[in-house]
Structure 1
Amino acid sequence: MKLTLGFSPCPNDTFIFDALIHHKINTEGLEFDVEYHDVETLNHKALRGELDITKLSYHAFAYAIEQYELLDSGSALGFGVGPLLITKEESLAKDLALYAGKDLPDKYKKLKVGVPGKYTTANFLLGLAYPELQNKVELVFSEIEASLLDGTIDVGLIIHENRFTYQNKGLYKIHDLGDFWEKATNSPIPLGGIVIKRSLPQEIKDIVNRLIHESVEFAFANPKSGIDYIRSHAQEMEEDVMYKHIELYVNQHSSDLGPLGRKAIQSMFDKARDLGLIPETEKNIFLKEKK
């Protein structure tokens, strides 16, 4: 059986899926037709129900939950992995840092904010910390730093490897929105998960869930096994940055969500519903327990 599978070309995803798609583990007769896209493109594909299995932001999952349920493996959750709000003006960075979770002065409410997509978890966290920053421009995540430098936007929300490079470009951190979430909830940040279509047979869903777990465990045991594959999709990233990226986003929650990971995800959904940021649903979030 062949299934469509979508994930990003970022090192954390290619690290996780290398063993699965290159048959370094027994895939039990399943084959995967892989598509690589940035996270917001994957989000929109999920909203349209285009892929059997896909990476997506947890924020987007709330809008795609009627068609998909969350697998136990493959997620990006953790402490210290959140998006950063940055700017090129040091004085603006210092001023705005004082207002996370507080009312903004009127002079800041019209600032133009570059976000990596409406449905990203990064944008959701921005809404929690700075709800009055509503003048948003949607950009591909890799374009946000350049847009700050050329003055197209005033502040930008960065994710992925840009966490490691923004200071080298003369940009300044306003606030770590992951830190804001962690202090408010004492939970890891649910960034992205792997979901599977509800309409697939339960046996197939259980097999895929198990295979992704095995793929992650293979990668942990053989971290250099997929180096050429990971590098080929890493957009000229230096190897040390590439592995920092993997270490940041791939952890025990990627192998199995566990009780803490599930609690963090449920907390995010509950908080978002309380604030009216996501629709109500009667669907379960997580893959049904294996029999």
Structure 2
Amino acid sequence: MQLKGKNVLITGGTRGIGKCMVEYLIEKGVTNIAVIARDKKNLKLLSEEFADVNFIRITGDVANIQVLRDAAARIEDKWGHLDILINNAGIVAAGPLEDIQDEDLYDQVAINYTAVMLLTKYCIPLLKFSEDAYILNISSGLGLIGMPFYAVYGSTKAAVRQFSDSMRRELAPFNISVTCAFPTATDTEMMQKFTGRKMDAPDYVAQRSLEGLLKKEIQVIFGGDDRLKENTLNFEAPEELDKQVAQNYEERKTASLDHKAV
């Protein structure tokens, strides 16, 4: 697929993986990009950095239903249809479940999952007007394997995986493909507390995820052979993986403390 001339909507497109996706799309010739982000200043800076791009700047929290409705309405008014939807925005608040603040639990569900469902719902009519439409949902490696101290975050990302499978099958008759990406630790603001840890570069994750979308891959799983082996073990012999995780339980707990990025 040629990206030039396509209309794209992305959430969380002003920093991290999302910003790298915007840069990749522009490099490949995309000039119509709608971006939903909470930071009005960063949205303005993005449009100033890429002055030749026709941005639809949507300031707001994806947890706000009206922001999502307005985004779809503005795209319909300005472009008439949508070719690519990228559900990228996400937050994390880790730690023992009993210690996670109620508000942080609700916000993770609202932003990481509910917003994905609602924005997709509002965009389906716009995607149906495209000759060849694509949806890219950004999940997480923790959406494949449940790990201690990431019960809420991992559950929301596992839900994104299930939602992606469901929508891929539901939208197949309308020539709308759905790809779900599962990044491992990525060097973004969300992981800034883990200094010195080996992580994927955000531009690599962005490019590989978008390449998967363009090839209509069902899943893009990061982490190499080790992650694939863990996935197989988790499915075929979960008790064995339980034993492995238990070996560094306290280390995992300590690492999760104060891991919060919103």
> Do the structures match in fold with TM over 0.5?
no
Higher helix share: 2
More contact order relative to length (CA 8 Å, sep ≥ 6): 1
